[in-house]
Each structure stands twice: as structure tokens, then as C-alpha cells.
Structure 1
Amino acid sequence: MNDAIVFERITKIYEGRQIAVADISFRLPANSTIGLLGANGSGKSTILRLALGLITPSAGSIQVFGQRMHPGARTIRQRVGFLADDPAFPKDLTAISYLRFVGQCFGLGREELKARLGTLLRAVGLMDDAGRKIGTFSTGMKTRLGVAASLMNDPELLVWDEPTAGLDPISRRQTLELLETFRGKKTVILSSHILGDIDRVCDRLLVLNQGQLLFDGPRVDLENLLPESVLEIRVSGGVGRFRAAVRARLGWTDLGRDEDRMRIELNGHDSVGNVVSSLLALAKETETVVDGINSTGRRLEDAYLKLITEDEFRGFLRASK
């Protein structure tokens, strides 16, 4: 399979010597859907801007469709669609006028432009609002307009940053269904904090933390970092003291970061009955009210948090030496 994007030992240092990403390499297969995960400040936006040729790396090289990507690579950009996390639009233009302008910038002919406008306005649910000024649009409507604009040139590569942010449940579902129609037909990079969306549409993942690439591979490989069973404990009155005691006394780490529950991975040699007994005894000792305990399967969220937590713990150990 050909690679749509190749990063070779990429480092980006901004003014003030801030290292955004450090010595990152990866290859994204053509026609795959890639989820880009990481907390704010992890380097996700820098990766997207580098891939789009909006900024240049401080070191390393980037290829898109087999060509070197750089700020002047206009022929490559003709094959790319981009949705920013907070897209800006001219307030006084109508939605259809804006999309027509975008299509003209890509050189679409009259008939092709007409067909694309109708198809995309229907796809994002804005046909009835096509004549409204964009300044009257809600945040969700602007996001949907941005989705349509990113597709005007029928791109081979789509880069979407938080495409479901601010959307109501119906619009979010429609956007995800639209993404699913691209599977195997376009290369898609999807950056999102909504792990459920990533889990639904992405077949590969890139996980970043503090400018480092922690994971690059099929989504299922990340999920397989976890055992087949995870124990969820729901408590009342805050889980902080109980969580600390579980870690200190029993050596188990909470996979989640919720205020009313813990999620603990079960190793193959752990008996569920023994684990539950130990947890209930510790809950009594710490005066924690347990509302329920149940066993669940692997979840992308658990695997992601485990990866991040372990990386942060390694960073703490390095800093304390």
C-alpha cells in the first residue's frame, strides 16, 4: 500500500525555543482513516500544520503523495481539504456564495460547481439555510459549512480538526456517517477529543504527549495493550482518597480520571472475586461508599489513558532523578 504522508524525524521548535514536536517519524497509508489523539499542547496542531505545509519543520522532511511538502507546494494543496477547529468565515456572505467562491478558487467549472454545491449542502444539512448570511449561523452550522468547504475540491486527503465540536447529536451522527463513506476511498486525518468518534471511524491512531509520539499503528493494537477485562468501581462522595489508597496499598492504577468511579485492569492471574474482596475491604477502611462494581471489556478510552498515564509517570521518574 502506498503512503499518503511520510514524516521523517520531524522536529519543530517555535520562537523562544519551545519544542512542539521532537524527532517524530511515521507513515500514513493511503485511503486509511487516522485518529490523532493527545491533550491540548501535545503537538497535534503542529502535526496538522506541518502536514498541510502551513509551517516548515525545524528538522526532518515531510512527503505528501510522494512529493516534498512545504509552504509553496500549491499542486499538493489542490488535492487536500482542511477543516480548522474554529473556522473563520466572512459574516456578510451567504453559505452558498462562500462555497461557490471556494469552488471557483479550485477551478471548478460551472456545471461541476453547481453539482458539488447541491450535493454538499444536502450532505451537511444546510440546503434550507444556503441563502442565509454566515454571520447568523450557530457554531455547529459554521462547523458543517466548514465540512462542506473542505470537500469542494473532492480531495484525496482530508484533514479535519474537531469536526464534531459544537454539533447537536443529529448533526454529529450525520458527520460521522459522512466520514464512514470515505473509508477506503480517501485518506483522512481526524483530530478529536471525542474518543467515541475516533473509535467509530478510525482504523489507525497516532497518540501524542508533550511533543512525543507514543503510539503509531492500528487502533486494535492500542486496545490490545489492555487485558480483556476491566473492573469498574462506582463510588459516592469522591474517589480521590480511595484511588490513592488502591494505588499505594494494592498497586493498581486507575485507568480513568472520573470523580465518581475507578477503572482497574485485571491481569490474567487476578481472580475477580479476590480483587473485589480487596477493594471492598479498602473501601471500608477509607470510609468510601461503593455504589457498584462490574466487569467491562476493552475500551479505547482506557487504553489511551493507560498510555498517557504511563508516559507521564516515566517523565516524573526522569525528573526526580
Structure 2
Amino acid sequence: MFSRPVRRKFAVLAAAALTLTAAAGCGGGGSAVEASSAGTELEGASFVVGSKDFTENIVLGKIAVQLLKAHGAEVEDKTNLGGTVTNRKALQAGEIDLYWEYSGTGWIEHLKKTEPIQDSAEQFKATAEADLEQNQIRWIGPTPLNNTYALAIRSEKAQELGVKTVSDVAELAKTKPEEVTMCIETEFSTRDDGLPGLTKKYDFEMPKDRIALLDTGVVYTETDKGETCNFGEVFTTDGRIAALDLTVLEDDKSFFPIYNAAVTVKDDLYKKHPALEQVLNPVIAKLDDATMQALNAQVDVDGKEPGAVTAEWLEQNGFLGSSS
């Protein structure tokens, strides 16, 4: 499956990180596990859970589905519903009741703000308060994980070109433009926090003939191959970065916003079921970068089903009522 031996080593490390995270949840802190174990707080409630169509958001969606069921709710699983716009519109229209969104996306895409806030706590607070006031959408969270965008390149090519930062890429675009080819998703090609804003911030041009628009998973594999493109748009919590031995370039001008994940739900539904917060928050608190990378790697590197991965993790951490 992998063309370079180092990849399997990183996959093993990712799995080990997941094991350590699970062990930490099941070992010390018994009272915390007890408090977050399955219960009946949501008995009689029903929810439709959506998610975006990439691995991490599907994984997060499955966590919500399984957790809400474990606390007595009836749940319809509509994970893998589509992109950002599809889920947001479905939430606002009442077609789904909740899905996981990211603070930077809420700020830039939904609230149409042009300047991100670099402090993660302040960014989340500003996003949550504005969305609640303007759109009556409540944010439950945030997670410690920050799934921000980045540019990545296969490590041997990074050494060959001498690139470590996005500024290096911008300089290369002027001196050796033929080397700056990119694999990106369609959504990234149009978003203000995507390629248009990035090229403006770093002052370089990307002609269309040097851009390949691909599905998320294909971006990683093509960036690794280095035939279609040298640079790829990646998510920093994606397990394939380590597994494919890709080098993530430093965003040295701090262009990309902070993307802490949270559950978004319409405020009127939240008010009917305020127990959502006490059910979700103990799990949200455990979802840091390392945990998310390991969960994502089990799906994208090891080929496991998202629902099986999340059920195992929730059970190992005591969130489905199992003894620890």
C-alpha cells in the first residue's frame, strides 16, 4: 500500500497514540468517566445528526450519533451529508438538528468576517456569540483540536526545493513557477480562507493550469506521488500526513484561521434539551489534535469504518457506559 517504508511506522505510531489516549481515559480519573458514562438525560428526545463529507467530520458525526443514543435519544444518522454549505443550510432549514462545525469556518464563511482572530479562545467566543445573536445557532464546545488548513509537500521534494514556509512557496512561484503546482479541493479554491485569500496574503499568483481540483483523499495521494502537483491542501489533524511522510509548511504570516470543532445546534432545540451540553462536553474535552489524528488514521490509513472506530474509542474511554 505504501511506497516508502516510513509510512507504516507512522501508521503504527498513530495507532499507538490512540491506544494511549484511550488508556488515559480508562485509567485515572474514574469520577470523570463515571460522570460522562451513558445515562437517560436525553430519553424521549430525537435528533437528526449531519456531518460534512470528509473523514474527520464524519468521525465526529458518528461520535455524536453514538453518544446521543447512549444517553437515551432516538437518532437519525445523516452523516456524510455533503460540504459546509449543504450542512449549514440543512441545519437552518431544520432538515438536520446538529452537526460539527469549526470556529474559523463559522467566522469566515457563515458570519462573513474577513479577519480571523489569532487567539483560539477569543476566536471561538466571538464566533459563538455572533452566531447565536445573528442566527440563533448555538455552539457547544470547543474541542482542543485545531483542524486548520495547511500546505504540504512530500518530504524529499521539500528538501530539494528548500521550502519550509508558505513564504518560501510564494518566492518559488516567482523564481521557479513551474515547480508551484497545487492539488486542492473545490471548496478551498473559492473560500476566503482558502486559496484566493492565501495568494493575496502571500502575494503570489496561481494560474489555473497549475491547479488540480480533486476530492479530499486524492489530494493526499497525488501530493505524495508528486506527478500532478508538488503542493497539496491538507488538514492539520489528518492521519495521512504522517502516514505518507508529508511535510507541512509553516503558515509564517498566520493567514489560516483557528478551526476548533464544536457541535452547532439551533438555539430553540438546545433550550428544549439543555442536557446536550453535559452529555457532549466531556467527550469534546478529550478531542485534541493527537486523538483526532489517531482516529482519522484508523479510517484513512488502516481502512476501518468510521462508526467502528468511534464506537471503540467511546467505549474504551467509558463514554458508552462500559466499566473502565
**Normalised by the shorter chain, which TM-score bucket?**
under 0.3
In the superposition, the TM-score normalised over structure 1's length comes to 0.26
More strand by share: 1
Higher CA-based Rg: 1
Instruction: Report 1 or 2 for greater relative contact order, CA contacts < 8 Å, sequence distance ≥ 6.
Output: 2
